[in-house]
Amino acid sequence: MLAVPTIDLMEKAVSIGDCSGTKVDKFKKFGLTPLPARDVKAPLISECLACIECRVTDYLEPQSIFVLDGRRAWIDNERKERRTFHASGDGTFVVDGNIVTPLNFSKFILPNIYFPIGT
């Protein structure tokens, strides 16, 4: 399952990535709502903008890359927040083209408080 959170979930998503699902129920700890998937066992995450049901088809060990086969896509068309983000791999994130660090997440939730790097 690939979940696509929006920026209002950024801090929560980073915290989720920092803990192991084998040691904690992430849905309970972070207040997330699981929804049944149709083609895979892993649940959809109701709070995310979109989810993609996937199956792992290969793993490239030298690069630590999972190769996925997308089976079904889901999107919440009623969700007002549409801005998404992704990790750059160096502790920063890109939000609709702006590079941010955990220190300035709030800029995208509470405008005019923090500024993206390089501005």
Q: Express each pLDDT in 7-44 by its tens digit.
A: 999 999 989 988 888 999 999 999 999 999 999 999 99
Of the candidates 59, 52, 22, the one whose C-alpha atom is nearest the C-alpha of residue 38 is 52
Of the candidates 72, 91, 82, the one whose C-alpha atom is nearest the C-alpha of residue 48 is 82
Record the tokens describing residue 91, joined without a space.
Answer: 């502790």
Mean pLDDT of the chain: 85
Listed in order, the ranges of the chain carrying CATH 2.30.110.10 are 2-81
Please measure the distance between the N-terminal and C-terminal CA atoms of the chain and give it in whole angstroms: 35
Percentage of the chain modeled with pLDDT above 90: 64
Does domain 2-81 sit in CATH 3.20.20.70? no
Whole-angstrom distance, CA of residue 10 vs CA of residue 106: 10
Does 5 have pLDDT greater than 90?
yes
What confidence score (pLDDT) does residue 118 get?
46
- Supply the Cα-derived Rg of the chain in whole angstroms: 16
